[in-house]
Amino acid sequence: MHSLAYRKNESEILQGRPPLKYIRIVPYVRGDHAIEIGSAEGVLALLLAAKMASVLAVERSRERHDAALELHKRWGEAPNVSFANGDILEMPQLFDGRDSLVAIRMIYHLGEAANDMLAEAVKRGIKHVVLGGNSGRERRFLSGLRSGLGEAERFATRRGMKQILKDHDYRIVDESADEGDPIIMGIR
C-alpha cells in the first residue's frame, strides 16, 4: 500500500508538484551523496537529486519501491538517482560512498535496531544525518500512550531523535521550528 502522504497528494505528486511536507526537508540535507532509507514512493529522493551529486533511495516495500521507479519515469529520468528494494539492516554496504543519511518517519519502525543501523552508518562514514519524526506519535508518546511499537516510538520524538544521534556521536546542528513533523539534523 502507498504511504498516506502519497495517497493524499498522488495527483499533484504525479504531475511534479509535491506538497510542502516533502519540500521542507530538502534544506536540512547536506553533503553530496545521500542515502534515503524508508524512501517510500521516492518523492524526497527525486527532490534531493536537484541539489546532490547522487541519491540512493532504499525502500523495503516492493509496492512502494515499484511506485518510486514509476514516479522517476514520470518526472523525467534523473541520472543521479538510483533505487534499491530491500532492508538496510540486511544491506549495510549501501552506506558505502555516501556522506548523508536521510530517514523520515521511519527509524521508529526499526525498533531498537535503529541503534544498529546508525552504528553501521557511522562505521561506513556517514557524516550528516537528517531524521524526521512523527508529530502524532510524538504527542501520544509524551502523553504516556504507546502503540505496538512500544518504547521504540520514542524515536518519533524530537528528544528521542536527538538522543539517538548523540549516542552515536553526532552533534545536533539544526531542527525544525515549525508545526510540522519534527526534523533533526546531526553532523559528525
Assign 144 a pLDDT band (cuts: 50, 70, 90).
very high
Cα–Cα distance for residue pair 10/3, rounded to 1 Å: 10
What is the reported pLDDT for 4?
78
pLDDT in tens, 1-21: 788 788 888 899 999 999 998
| pLDDT, tens digit, 9 for 90 and up, residues 21-69 | 899 999 999 999 999 999 999 999 999 999 999 999 999 999 999 999 9
Identify the pLDDT of residue 6: 86
Cα–Cα distance measured from residue 86 to residue 181, given in angstroms and rounded to the nearest whole number: 25
Does the domain at 4-187 match CATH 3.40.50.150? Answer given as yes
**Cell numbers that stand for 25 in this block:** 526537508
Distance separating alpha carbons of residues 51 and 64, to the nearest angstrom: 23
Q: 82-136, pLDDT tens digit by residue? A: 999 999 999 999 999 999 999 999 999 999 999 999 999 999 999 999 999 999 9
